[in-house]
Chains A and B, each alone.
Chain A
């Protein structure tokens, strides 16, 4: 097996990134607004999924609280970028509290602050929850995410309660979303392929052995949880400015979103960052594409009326099939690297000999 050198790897990656940049440029110019929005959503989902797979896949602790941090990020960024007049208009039940009602800032600082606030929320949730493991941890985080949602729903003076926030400026373009995805991948990739990443992967396999090898399991789990929360917040900020209106229903920023992201990372391969991106792209694309089946159609002279929810049904069947025949997801635990492609390619060639 030949090893691809660092230099080749680096050059190929740079070429790949620039190539994808041109692809996105082409897509944003000639595919039309609808698909441009879907491609943006792919990157937003990608950020959510990669940050989620850091906890659930790489670190091996099963959290169900991701949507909570996404919601925190979404609300923080939205409250920071909303125009002041819009805030005065939206908050007609209870006016917005002081510092927030008089500030409006650019998208980039708002996104970064959203990430930091979400990271802090992750710290607050993770610190008590990480004392339990396994299913108990999943339930604890699920409960915390629900607490975050209920708090958002009821604090009218900050979040406008169940009325939600409207008129958020649509700042999220293809470039913001894919740019942030690139940043996320670089940071999380660098994290995963460092000594810390090795420690996280070791913990995911055997916490007792990891502890005996000198790894402070609690500290590292918390660290991974907070980093994941930061990028979940970034994803939430982008998502809010993509949706332009957010509210605390369970179907928008609640438990449903956690399960969507969970589907992405399981399909992509738990523990693989590139797999998470592939899963997100697959999910965003097929969720839109499957809308075809919800419209009335003519099938060999048979007229089928549009059935709402049909796409979800087909989705479910597809995922069951994937889990049956492709249990480890698209990538398993591997990363889609040049080495990976080279190995597969050379194996294929070797088989023919």
Chain B
């Protein structure tokens, strides 16, 4: 045991003397989290400027007005800056690149809608912009679909309304009752669809992904984008740190220090245990640094201390186990160059380190469950965002501990066998 601890302590001392490589690895998650936070803001909202849209209303009727008002109210009103212009002004401003898009409501638009005839809305996009005109296009399409669906469902009362509109006199009460009755049936029929807004930008949708919401009776905290991003990006850094420390074994073999160690009264098993232990310890220290940065730098609430401790230990055990196993399976430094980074990136990608798994398509989300990174990142998210306790993350802990133990032991034995055979 003394020899194992000696080797472990020596590796930590060496890293402290030359910490640059570990610091660089720690910068990966910190930078990823910082950039995400800067892009989306601490609450996860994109602080986008309003999209400048020109509106040419050649119709001047009821439905043209409806479209215009629809785009100026509520969330769309916050997103779009609508300026009503004449056709000539609009063409001139568009050619000068003064707006992202121009929407032209043609003459007779309302009449055509009421008569059930095709009605066309013209959209002119600014070719020098890429993203914003597409947003306008999608909004316009959505409104056109809504309007189209509405006219089909309310066809009967609208026909009646057409005659009322055409009358010069005040409509009779019986005519209005007929219109209202027809409209009522349409509303009953479509209630389930029109009751929920199709375009929503509420916090709860972004803040509470499916897997997070699975916690029993969750305590929902104020959403912090850093708490959402850090667990995943942290995993990349930690996996690379384990890899860095264990790669030291290959370097020591090359430098001759491993041979010298084995010429001392130290068994191969003790040497490997010392190195794997050092990888665990250095990664644990690194994760503590990342947690401190999360708390102090990004204001992340670290949640339940016991759950955090167990999740951290289980995560490091899993990382150490997986990389130890991979090192046991490879034949040397060239193989490590070829395999290690790719394996880490793939595990991180599927596990939600780069794109949160909740944002992935269902098939990828399901595949992500096979990546150990998912269980580490998701458990940490639950602790950070929902104040999850040990019982809430028990499955995560079980998976991580099992993975750790089931990979670390055979991995270490494989490495020992390779060294004993004079391989590597």
Say whether A associates with B.
no
Q: Which residues of B contact A (CB under 8 A)?
A: none
Q: Which residues of A contact B (CB under 8 A)?
A: none
